[in-house]
Amino acid sequence: MEKDREALGLLFDHLDIGEDGVLRIAGQDCAALAARYGTPLYIMDEDRIRERCRSYLGAVRDAFGADGQVLFASKAASFKHIYEIMKEEGMGIDVVSCGEIRTALAAGYPLSKAYFHSNNKTDEDISYAMAHGVGTFVADNEEELYAVEKEAMKRGVTQKVLLRLTPGIDPHTFEAVATGRVDSKFGSAIETGQAEQVVKEALALPHVRLTGFHCHVGSQVFDSGIYLRAADVMLSFIAEMKARLGYEAEELDLGGSLGVRYVKTQPVLDYGSVIRSVGAFVREKCAGLGIRMPRVSFEPGRSIVADSGVTLYTAGTVKRIPGYKNYISVDGGMTDNVRYALYGAPYTVLPATKMTEPRTMKASVVGRCCESGDIIQEDVEMPASIRRGDLVAVLTTGAYNYSMASNYNRIPRPPVVMLKGGTSFEAVRRETLDDLVRLDV
Ligand SMILES: *Cc1c(COP(=O)(O)O)cnc(C)c1O
């Protein structure tokens, strides 16, 4: 049965097929959703997002005790309602810009629980974040540390700061999203001695309180060994700083990156078991090094929201070039999902209204933008009967789709519709043509 579901592309347990062959998400009929809200349409299963928050928090607290934290990396999906969910679920958050801070603020999210990332915070960013009481800044480098000190001094406050370090680990994932290596644009390297230098400087700053260290190894990590290696390097560094500088970090943030399933060849990762194995390792390692166990945080973004999301499109032109290739054009594209164009990201694409028909035609599913790279996915298996007006669903679009959306070709961005307890509502409305000209003076 599970095999049959996989063969049909039903990668997650909230997906099934109605008697009429139409894809359902959390029991709700895709065709009805498309009729009500229009296409392209971002759908997110709110119950599934909340369940994920709870299981993450439960696992982190089991593994690290009551002060273990889960910070939702909100760049994965940033809009007001998501921050409301995070507030209600007791999640921390990461923010990377004033825009994300402003959105969290609009949701009434308590910013003292927010961590401010980014590899280049401007003076304006720093001032805005401090004015609104963002709890912790994650300083990427030395220069930023001084900029934070300057602003904190001006305001007469002491700012909590974590230092972002690069543990020198290549997570064997896409090069473009590998961020934990020594030559990364993010963080200060442990290996080169630069990290220690920055720690010394941070400790000398009167308005900065260095609470500990942060690392983030990359993206789409399926191997828990990566986290053990990162924790190993980071804890050894904490022990070294204790021995050499008499400074013992209170907090260790191990970043995000846990993998999600885009296609059936990728595994279903048990996040709880990854976290528990890191917990056991950290306890043992701290005991061995003779250091206190720091407060441990994880920063999952993708793995909180990605598989709650489905994008629905309406097929337009179906073009067959005999002997070459078939194309199915949809009413969205790189404006609502740029990830294939950006780095060849895989996706599962389904004939949402013809789920039970044999899929005998291979086609590229492409968008409607004026770019030949505007592709959602290539070599998708579709029913030969697919035609204009049929619905096409793309799975696992809850992360880095809406948040990366653009208005290229002056295409309005789709709404985000939440599914909750058998009902649905717009969390973000559809952009109108008037919205598109509202900034033009
Ligand atoms: C992007 C990012 C995350 C989240 O990564 P995911 O792959 O979405 O889990 C966490 N921490 C930092 C610093 C990031 O830049």
Instruction: List pLDDT tens digits, range 12-55.
Output: 999 999 999 999 999 999 999 999 999 999 999 999 999 999 99
**What is the value of pTM for the model shown?**
0.96
- CA-nearest residue, atom 3 of ligand 1: 256
**Mean pLDDT of all residues in 160-186:** 71
Cα–ligand 1 centroid distance for 215 (angstroms): 10
Q: Is 98 part of the annotated catalytic residue set?
A: no
DSSP letter for 221, please. B
Can you tell me the distance from the alpha carbon of 54 to that of 58, in angstroms, rounded to the nearest whole number? 6
Q: What are the tokens at 290?
A: 């003779």
Domains and CATH numbers, the chain: 2-45+306-437 (2.40.37.10), 117-300 (3.20.20.10)
Residue to mutate (ligand 1; options 94, 97, 163, 253; most atoms within 8 A of CB): 94
Can you tell me the distance from the alpha carbon of 297 to that of 31, in angstroms, rounded to the nearest whole number? 40
Q: Give backbone dihedrals phi and psi of 155, rounded to 5 degrees, phi first.
A: -90, -5
Instruction: Round the average pLDDT of the chain to a whole number and report it.
Output: 95
Length of the chain: 441
Cα–ligand 1 centroid distance for 220 (angstroms): 10
Judged on CB neighbours under 10 Å (0-12, 13-18, 19+), 19 is: exposed
Q: According to the model, what pLDDT value does residue 20 have?
A: 96
Strands 69-73 and 295-298: parallel
pLDDT reading at 403 higher than 80? yes
Q: According to the model, what pLDDT value does residue 186 have?
A: 76
Residue to mutate (ligand 1; options 257, 262, 275; most atoms within 8 A of CB): 257
Cα–ligand 1 centroid distance for 116 (angstroms): 12
217: confidence class by pLDDT, cuts 50, 70, 90: confident
pLDDT reading at 289 higher than 70? yes
Q: According to the model, what pLDDT value does residue 168 have?
A: 82
pLDDT reading at 185 higher than 80? no
DSSP letter for 152, please. H
Q: 43 and 261 in contact (C-beta within 8 Å)? A: no
**Mean pLDDT of all residues in 313-331:** 96
Cα–ligand 1 centroid distance for 33 (angstroms): 31
Cα–ligand 1 centroid distance for 256 (angstroms): 5
Pocket of ligand 1 (CB under 6 A): 73, 75-76, 94, 117, 216, 219, 255-258, 299-303, 399
285: confidence class by pLDDT, cuts 50, 70, 90: very high
- For tokens 């089991």, the residue is 62
Please tell me which residue in 30, 53, 286, 370 is annotated as part of the active site: 370
What atom in ligand 1 is closest to the CA of residue 303? 9
**Mean pLDDT of all residues in 348-353:** 98
Q: Which residues contact 254 (CB under 8 A, 6 or more apart)?
A: 215, 227, 230, 231, 234, 278, 296, 297, 298, 299
pLDDT reading at 332 higher than 80? yes
